[in-house]
Amino acid sequence: MMAHCSTSSSLNPSNLFSHPTFRTKTLSIPRLCSLSSIRIPQSHCATNRSSLRRLPVVAGAVAVDSQASYTDEKEGKKLLLEVKDLTAVITESQQKILNGVNLTVYEGEVHAIMGKNGSGKSTFSKVLVGHPDYEVTGGTAIFKGQDLLEMDPEERSLSGIFMSFQSPVAIPGVSNADFLNMAYNARQRKLGLPELGPIEFFSHVYSKLDQVNMKMDFLNRNVNEGFSGGERKRNEILQLAVLGADLAILDEIDSGLDVDALQDVARAVNGLLTPNNSVLMITHYQRLLDFIKPAYIHIMENGRIVKTGDISLASFLEKEGYKGITAA
């Protein structure tokens, strides 16, 4: 059954990102001018917490709540994220993956997490955005003074966390333009600002395309459908550029990028950095860190951050490998 979902909860970015299998005939014709009456299946209009918790969150973010009451400061910078002793298991198997993660991020900071394959980097970031594959079993995560773990994925995204997944999924039947427009409008609603119709939104998004060096026809294609690995990564940054974020979590944004694309993506991310927002990037390679310079590098091992240092840690790692880190 098709139903017209016009409520704010039905057209928010998390709900849409939450539906990798999201399909609608109306949206399968990706025309900007057809956006004024978006129809999505009733079954996809998740409006309550329990239904949202069951949905796989793919991405989604907007920066809002600039007046948040988070007060802890370091050199005049507000505390953005404080994670303490975070433990988590895989929901299905109850296998423990995170074994007490501690991480503190202030606004305006760039952090990088590195670590061997399978050490828990992606799991940590997915737990932060409320991915239902994982269950938090202990510890705390405070974002802008609020208990992140109490928030559903939609609230997390609307409160200003953006996550670019290591393997961004396609959303068949939903054009990039539709998707971005809906996500953008969800933010506007949250801020109490006017929403943009498809034509106005197009002008808004047009300038962002330049930032990531993407061609216009990507707007009319379905989200990530048929995109190459590198195009998906660029598209993630386009989403970030359009939506904004207080904290952007970028999981291996550099993987699969050619040299030019890496520079484009890095330039776009750097262009989005302000003294008020932060980036947490996960990477295996120093080449990304040469472009987006982190103040802190954390090494994750067996579901915990075992070492934190400055950029020199990455060069050390490049030369010595992880054996060197453990021994140091």
Residue 271 partner contact from Mg ion, ligand ATP, none using kind-dependent CB cut-offs of 5 to 8 Å:
none
The whole-angstrom separation of Cα 235 and Cα 253 is 10
Calculate helix-pair angle for 176-191, 198-212, nearest 10 degrees: 110
**What is the smallest separation between the CB atom of 86 and ligand ATP, expressed in angstroms?**
13
Applying CB under 6 A, the span of 34-42, 48-56, 113-121, 318-326 interacting with ligand ATP comes to: 113-121
**What is the smallest separation between the CB atom of 189 and Mg ion, expressed in angstroms?**
33
Q: Which of 104, 73, 61 is nearest to 246 (CA)?
A: 61
Site pattern 109..138 for Mg ion (x: CB under 5 A) = ------------xx----------------
Residue 253 partner contact from Mg ion, ligand ATP, none using kind-dependent CB cut-offs of 5 to 8 Å:
none
The whole-angstrom separation of Cα 205 and Cα 137 is 40
Residue 133 partner contact from ligand ATP, Mg ion, none using kind-dependent CB cut-offs of 5 to 8 Å:
ligand ATP
Site pattern 152..181 for Mg ion (x: CB under 5 A) = --------------x---------------
Helix (H, G, I), strand (E, B) or coil at 54: helix
- Virtual torsion, Cα 133, 138, 141, 147, nearest 10 deg: 90
Q: Which two tokens stand for residue 80?
A: 């953005």
Applying CB under 6 A, the span of 112-120, 187-195, 261-269, 305-313 interacting with ligand ATP comes to: 112-120
| Using rule CB under 6 A, residue 90 touches ligand ATP | yes
Cβ partners under 8 Å of residue 269, min gap 6:
237, 240, 248, 250, 253, 279, 292
Residue 65 partner contact from Mg ion, ligand ATP, none using kind-dependent CB cut-offs of 5 to 8 Å:
none
Q: Please, which residues bridge with residue 281 across strands?
A: 112, 250
Provide the binding-site residues for ligand ATP, judged by CB under 6 A.
90, 97, 115, 117-123, 133, 166
Residues that bind Mg ion in the complex, under the rule CB under 5 A: 121-122, 166
